[in-house]
Amino acid sequence: MLSALGPRVKERWDALTDAKKKPYEKLAADDKVRLEKEREQLCTYGYFINADGVRSTELTRKLGKRERAAALEKAKLDREEQKKLDKQIDTDDENKAWAYYYNKCYNKEFKAAPGKSEAAKKKNADKLLQNNWLKMAIGTKKRYVNHAKKND
């Protein structure tokens, strides 16, 4: 049934004038920009911020009772595992990883930071980087530890 729908949709699209196609083409272009932005954030931070300002890690779909119970149990196990992993990063290594992360991301965040003066932009970029580091998953931090060790 769906395969029969494709040719009809194409036929209707081809019948539209350029003026009527324009709003849809703009939506597609805007969506492409959004996708690239989210993809870059995902690669850099391990999550992205959607148009509503919500982190992708906080987005959830509605779960049934069994799924919710399983998710809660997994979250409990994840928290326990996270506590174990948190103890596994040496303080010196974490400091080096933070320095690596800061140096890698500072210029990009500085350019995007709100503020009119350089001091305000620097303060906002610093604050954002610190917040991102504190919220960062331990596994992601460990990647920065490994990068920092390689660059020593």
Count the alpha carbons within 13 Å of 23 in the hemisphere toward its beta carbon: 2
pLDDT tens track for 91-125? 778 888 888 888 888 788 777 777 788 888 888 88
Determine the Cα–Cα distance for residues 141 and 99; give it in Å rounded to an integer. 12
User: Predicted confidence band at 18 (pLDDT cuts at 50, 70, 90)?
Assistant: very high
Determine the Cα–Cα distance for residues 65 and 32; give it in Å rounded to an integer. 36
Whole-model pTM: value is 0.41
Count the alpha carbons within 13 Å of 55 in the hemisphere toward its beta carbon: 9
Q: Which residues of 73-109 are buried (b: 16+ CB within 10 A; e: fewer)?
A: eeeeeeeeeeeeeeeeeeeebbebbbebbbeebbeeb
- Contact yes or no for 115/124 (Cβ under 8 A): yes
**DSSP 3-state assignment of 55?**
strand
pLDDT tens track for 24-82? 999 999 999 988 888 888 888 887 888 778 787 777 666 677 777 777 777 777 777 76
| Domain residue spans of the chain | 1-56, 60-88, 90-152
Determine the Cα–Cα distance for residues 56 and 67; give it in Å rounded to an integer. 19
